[in-house]
Amino acid sequence: MGNVPALKKIPPEVLSAAHAKLDELTRLLEPYLVMLSQAERQAEIRFGAELMRFLELSHTFSLGSPELFPSYIKEIVFRERFFTVHALWELLNKINQLRDYLWDTETLTGSYALEIAFAFYQNVKIAARRDIPGAGTIYEELKPAFPPTKRKGRKPKKVKDDRQLQPELELFEDLPV
């Protein structure tokens, strides 16, 4: 697997505290947030880094050249909107970084867990064919949930045997087996 970062079990109290903080953040910001419909969202300009740069430059230049500011718009409205969008931009960047960390960690831990689940499924499948008691019931429950394999020019990943899984299991040394 190459250079894989170590994974640690997240204690339940840490996950609970994280959920509570997210709920608190939602309650804190909720009075100031809006929810657009899909049509409304599509009708608005897609905001990104390039537009933020344009907005920052426009704000800076409008401060230095107030005589060029359109007379039919109150400058204070532009300033308030600019500072709000800039603050939200910074907050979103932090949230997006956290989201990326969460997705990467979920992807890696999910990949390891699925390898083990696939190995378990294969063992259950073999045991069901051999009429081992209970295996058939488990197999029938798992079979419809088993993800279909896509075979577009590449071979499906082979399930590793215990000797190959052991180094990866050491990454989860804090987890109960």
- If you average pLDDT over every residue of the chain, what do you get? 86
Cβ atoms < 10 Å from Cβ of 124: 21
Reported as a single tens digit per residue, the pLDDT across 109-135 is 999 999 999 999 999 999 999 999 999
Domain residue limits, the chain? 36-147+157-172
Helices 75-129, 135-142: inter-axial angle, 10-degree rounding? 150
pLDDT at 153: 55
Per residue in 8-27, is it b (16+ CB within 10 Å) or e — as a string? eeeeeeeeeeeeeeeeeeee
pLDDT at 148: 76
Closest CA to 59 of 89, 96, 100: 89
Whether the predicted pLDDT of 40 surpasses 90: yes
pLDDT at 147: 79
Q: Is the pTM of this model over 0.75?
A: no
Whether the predicted pLDDT of 73 surpasses 80: yes
Q: How far apart are the first and last CA of the chain?
A: 21
Rounded to whole angstroms, the Cα distance separating 52 from 35 reads: 21
